Every structure is written in structure tokens, then in C-alpha cells.
A and B are shown apart, each in its own frame.
Chain A
Amino acid sequence: MAPDLDLTERDRAMLDGTHGDAASLAMRIVTKSAEIAGATHLLDITSAHIDGCLFHGMAGLDFARRLRDAEAQVAVPSTLNVSALDLLHPELVRLDATTSAMAREQMDAYLAMGCRPTWTCAPYQSPERPSFGDQIAWAESNAIVFANSVLGARTERYGDFIDVCCAITGRAPAVGLHLDEHRGARVVFRVEGVPDRLLADPVAHAAIGLIVGREAGALVPAVVGLPTAPTTSEDHLKAMCAAAASSGSVALIHVIGVTPEAPTLEAAIGEGSVASEVRVGPADLRAARDAWSTVGVGAAIGAVSVGTPHMSVAGFERLASLADGRRFAVPFYVNTGRDVLRVAEGAGTAAVAMAAGATMVTDTCTYITPVIAHGVGPVVTDSAKWAWYAPSNLGVEVAIASLEECIRSAVEGGLVRDDALWGSDG
């Protein structure tokens, strides 16, 4: 134990095994993480979001088994991230029986620990989400940025293993974004000259997010020049957060005039100074779109995948209004959380999308488990995060497009670009 980590009596009792083997293992991992990060103490958390339920090898399952067998229980409300299976539509996932059984066992182990079966990468779409100022331990890179930026809750970048250890102990190292002094913006992105119509479409925010992540790395960025709410909605911010956490390690974005800790640029910077400024114009958005797309306009496509991170209730409304009366010529996948799907079913929006030919995928996502046919042609997506990971996870070609372009492309069976939306370099 590092001499400079000050533990409470209860922390020590957990570490010593007084609260059982599971709490002891969890506290060992939490204190080791605290030492690594240079924390002086731990703090109480009010919720956890756990990524460790996704099966991708024995280590994750063996860790879950070890905790389950030691009768671990989470000490705070804990939501679960996507899994490798779709429990509502099991026929969609083409995993072999052995892998499926292991994936299921890993999911069940987390349920046995008292976690909620949310199976979503967008836990912030739940009505019971954290509030401003709450100290939380969230995993899932997009959810981390969203919680810090949009909710104003406070979480470091948690990941597999440490997430559930924080949940079991109810404690997290008091470092990084848990603390005021690390939440100030250090690099400023000025969005200039982007037409209103493009800025009203979340695909613009996905492209901005890719640029922010690439340029900011692990620094806290501020973005200046975006319209205020409701034009910039939570779906716009979701797209930006997920993109920045894919191309970089961004965990907090201050959107000036939009997110709660950024009424002004000065407020977002706080005590400190900005290292650099980056200007972002319409040509940069087109360049980002094209840099992370592997096919261009007119290319025949094999499928469309939207809803990464998971489609929201508002996203379903947009999807339904754009897809109403259309008929898709290629498979069109909508990734969403089971709780959101229930609402969208009640609202009739899911039915409109399905009438056009959309397939609902819940509890998982099309880029982490085999849903899309192997060897399929290019996949069009409205998600920068999907476009970032799918080529390496699935070996597919991709194109980033607005939701409307996705729908038109699905109808045509080829990549459609709306030049009036994006503008041109000529």
C-alpha cells in the first residue's frame, strides 16, 4: 500500500476481507488503481455503469465468475452495458453455441451481483440517470463523456474490471475528472462558417467529434460556435461525445452555451489556460467524413447500421419521420436499448421503421457481435464511432452519412450524398 493513500476504516476492513472475499478483491483493484493514478483518498460514488458484461475472451468471464462465486453484490445502483447477445432477438446473432453460452454466463454473473439488465451503451437515456455534480464510476467511453459533459456528473475513464470493483465497494479513486481542478478546458475548437442546416444535423457533430478526439487526445476540449438547445440536442451531443472518445481519449467536452459547466468559455476554462486553439470549418467536416469513410458516393452498399450509441426515443421519432412510406433495398439495422425500444414501440415509431424494412437490434450492437452478414458490401452509418471500429472489428467498408442520407442510401442500395447539406470544396 502506498503510504500516501489515506483509507477509511471501512475501506481497510474491505481490503482485509472483513466484508468477504469479493469485497476484498474489489477493494484491492480499487486501491491499486488509486495508487496508479496518484490518488490521496477514495470517494463515495452514487452509481456505476459496467462494461465488463461484454464477452470477448475468457479473462472477462473468469473475473465475473470469481466475483459471482464469492457472492459479490454491488453497493450502488449499477447499469449494464451492451453484451455480445440480443436476448430479445436471439436469432439475429450468429455466435456458435459455446461462445453464446459463455457470453450468457458472463451476463448472468453480473445480474447475480445485483446489476440492472439495461444492456445499453446509452444509460444516460434512462429517466433514472445521474444528476449534476454526482460522483459516479462509469465505463463505456461514450457514456463517460456524455455523463461528464452533458449531465455534469463526475466520472473518470473507467473500464472493464475496475467498473464493477467500484460498484461493489461503492468507492472510487479521488482523481482526475472527479475533481474540479481537472475539469477545465485546455484546448478550444472554434466551429466557424458551418451552415445552419448542417449544424442542425447530428452528423455534423459526429464529424466535429472525430476532429476533437484526434486533436485533443486526452486534454479537455471546449467547443465554441454550436447553436444552443434545443437545436443542439442530446442526440447531437451523443454523436460528438462518442466520436471524440473513439478518435481520442476525450472524457469531457465543454460545449459553450450548451453543456452545464460551460455557460461561457471563461467558465469552462476555469483556473488555468488554454494550450491551443483549432478552427473547424465546413471543409474540415467534409474531410473528417471522408477520412473515416472508405467508400464514396455512388458505391453499391450492403447494409445500413444506425444507433451507435443506442438510438434514443427522439432518434426513433426522426427515423420514423424520414423512413415513413419508404422501402429499404438493403438490410437496415437499428441498434437500441430494450427500454427505449419499449417506448418507441408504444409511440409507434419503431413500427414505422420496421414497415420500411428496419431490423431492431437490442442488448448489443452490430459492430461487436456477428449480426450483419459476413462479407457484406459497404455499410453506411450515421455513427462516427461505428465507422471507426467496424472496419477493424468486422472487416467491412464504411461510409459516414446523415440519418437522411442513410435512409436514402438504403432505399437506393447505393451511397447517396446530399451536397446541399455538406456544401462542396469547389
Chain B
Amino acid sequence: MIDLTGRTLAAGVGRGEALTLQEPLSFWGGFDGVTGTVSDTHHPQQGVCLSGRVVFMRRGRGSSSSPSVLAEAIHVGTAPAAIVLTEIDAMIALGALVAAELYGVEMPVVVLAPGSTSEIEDGVPVTVDATKVVAVVEADPRGTRR
């Protein structure tokens, strides 16, 4: 078991297979909310599906339209199961906060404690518990792989 701690930016519990984004992503103009895939043609992981995954990423990028793209993805069910950041990103948290306000659907957003590394292999099952101020990210490297 790998246990990481972080700070809850948007509350909730999420479970899914880990997926690490190698570069920051702008949800507007970089993520297709219908298919849940990375659509940014400049991103090394263009075409990768984020739906239902616990997405580890440094931070977002660029466009200020990202919150509503993410909120809509949470609404229609194409969003990640949780987002784990290494830098605070209010835009990403906002998308989740507003989806919770509007639709009562929670997608946790967590920023890892400084110095925590998130070297979790893609496909490893992860649970993000962001029900308290201190969030817990629990990965089971021996869990079932895709």
C-alpha cells in the first residue's frame, strides 16, 4: 500500500485506476467532455481517456473556461473519479465545487502535501478520500491491473 496525504480542495470520495498526466492540461480546448478524452493536439497523451480514472497531474493550464468544461463532465459522468494535483489549481477545484453545488455530484480534488511524490504506476487502483481537510490518497500497487 502507498499512502499519500494532501489537502482537500473539493470534497468527495473517488476510486479508480491511476493515470498520470505527463504535462499540464487545459480542460477547455484540451479535453473532450463528450468522450472524456484528452483532445489537446500538443499533449503527449492526446486520445487517452480520463473518465473514471484517478488523474494525477501537476496543474491545469491556459484557458479560464476550464471550470465549466470540468463541471459539465462531472455532470454527464465523463470526468475523472478524482484529480490529484501537485500544485494548487483553483480553476480545477472550482469546476468540482460548482458541480457539487449545481448537481450534488462530488469529484474530489486534492493537492498533495509539499514533497510528496506521486510515483504511482498507471493502472494501479487508487482511493481518494477527501471528506476531511486532510485528504488521504491510497494506492494498492498489487491490485488488479487493467
What is the 8 Å Cβ interface bit string for chain B, positions 5-49, against chain A (1 contact, 0 not)? 000010000000000000010001110010000011110000000
Question: Number of A residues whose C-beta is below 8 Å from B?
Answer: 44
Q: How close is B12's CB to chain A, nearest CB, in angstroms?
A: 14
- The interface residues of chain A lying within 8 Å CB-to-CB of B88 are 36-38
Q: B101's closest neighbor in chain A, by CB?
A: A25
Task: Give Cα A37 to B69, complex, Å.
Answer: 21
Cβ-defined contact, B72 with A157, below 8 A:
no
Give the complex CA separation of A158 and B71 in angstroms. Answer: 16
Q: Which of A333-366 contact B (CB under 8 A)?
A: none
Residues of B within 8 A of A317 (CB): none
Cβ A57 vs Cβ B64 within 8 A: no
**What's the Cα separation between A29 and B66 when bound, in Å?**
16
> A66 vs B102: C-alpha distance in the bound complex, in angstroms?
8
Q: Is A132 an interface position by the 8 A CB rule?
A: no
Which of the candidate stretches A221-229, A245-253, A305-313, A412-420 sits at the interface with the other chain?
A: A245-253
Q: How far is the CB of B37 from chain A (nearest CB, A)?
A: 11
A52 at the interface (CB under 8 A from B): yes
Interface set, chain A 44-65, CB cutoff 8 A to B: 51-52, 54, 56-60, 62-63
Indicate whether B128 reaches chain A with its CB closer than 8 angstroms. no
A105: CB under 8 A from chain B?
Answer: no
Chain B 52-80, CB-CB to A under 8 Å as 1, else 0, gives 00000001111111111101101110000
In the assembled complex, the Cα of A140 lies from the Cα of B29 at a distance in Å of 13
Of the residues A37, A51, A247, contact of B90 by C-beta under 8 Å: A37
Kindly state the separation between the CA atoms of A135 and B88 in the bound complex, as whole angstroms. Answer: 22
Stretch from A295-303, A373-381, A388-396 that touches the partner: A388-396
Q: Nearest residue in A to B46 (C-beta to C-beta)?
A: A392
Partner of B102, one of A28, A63, A292, A389: A63
Closest B residue, CB atoms, query A389: B29
User: A52's closest neighbor in chain B, by CB?
Assistant: B68
B9 to chain A, nearest CB (A): 5
Contact B72 A57 (CB under 8 A): yes
Check B67 against A161 for contact (C-beta < 8 Å). yes
Is A249 touching B59 in the complex (CB atoms < 8 A)?
yes
- The B-contacting residues of A in range 100-123, CB under 8 angstroms, are none
Whether a CB of chain B sits under 8 angstroms from the CB of A139 is yes
B98 at the interface (CB under 8 A from A): yes
A296 to chain B, nearest CB (A): 17
Contact of A160 among B39, B65, B76, B101 (CB under 8 A): B65
Contact yes or no, B62 A141, CB < 8 A: yes
Which of B42, B64, B76 gathers the greatest number of chain A CB atoms within 10 Å?
A: B64
A218 touches B59 (CB 8 A): yes
Chain B residues with Cβ below 8 Å from A218 are 59, 87
Interface centre among B30, B63, B88, B95 (most CB of A within 10 A): B63
B42 touches A161 (CB 8 A): no
With A25-B101, A59-B99, A66-B102 known as contacts, the answer to whether A393 contacts B62 (CB < 8 A) is: no
B82 at the interface (CB under 8 A from A): no
A161 vs B66: C-alpha distance when bound (angstroms): 10
A4 to B66, CA, bound (A): 28
- Chain B residue contacts of A393, Cβ below 8 A: 29
| A33 engages B94 (CB within 8 Å) | yes
- B94–A160 CB distance below 8 A: yes
When distances are taken between beta carbons in the complex, the residues of chain B under 8 Å from A248 are 61-62
In the complex, A389→B31 CA distance in Å? Answer: 11
Contact B98 A63 (CB under 8 A): yes
A411 interface contact, C-beta 8 A: no
Query: Is A63 touching B24 in the complex (CB atoms < 8 A)?
Result: no
Most buried by A among B59, B61, B97: B61
Residues of chain A lying within 8 A (CB to CB) of residue B91: 157, 159
Are A159 and B29 touching (Cβ within 8 A)? Answer: no
B98 touching A29 by the CB < 8 A rule?
Answer: yes
| Chain B residues in 8 Å Cβ range of A157 | 64, 90-91
Check A60/B72 contact, CB under 8 A, given A36-B88, A140-B64. yes
Name 5 A/B residue pairs within 8 A (Cβ), A-sorted.
A60-B68, A140-B64, A162-B94, A249-B59, A388-B42
Interface residues of A, Cβ cutoff 8 Å to B: 25, 28-29, 32-33, 36-38, 51-52, 54, 56-60, 62-63, 66, 139-141, 144, 156-163, 217-218, 245-249, 292, 388-389, 391-393
Supplied contacts A60-B71, A246-B63, 9 more A-B pairs, CB within 8 Å: A29-B97, A29-B101, A36-B93, A58-B75, A140-B64, A159-B94, A161-B94, A249-B59, A392-B41
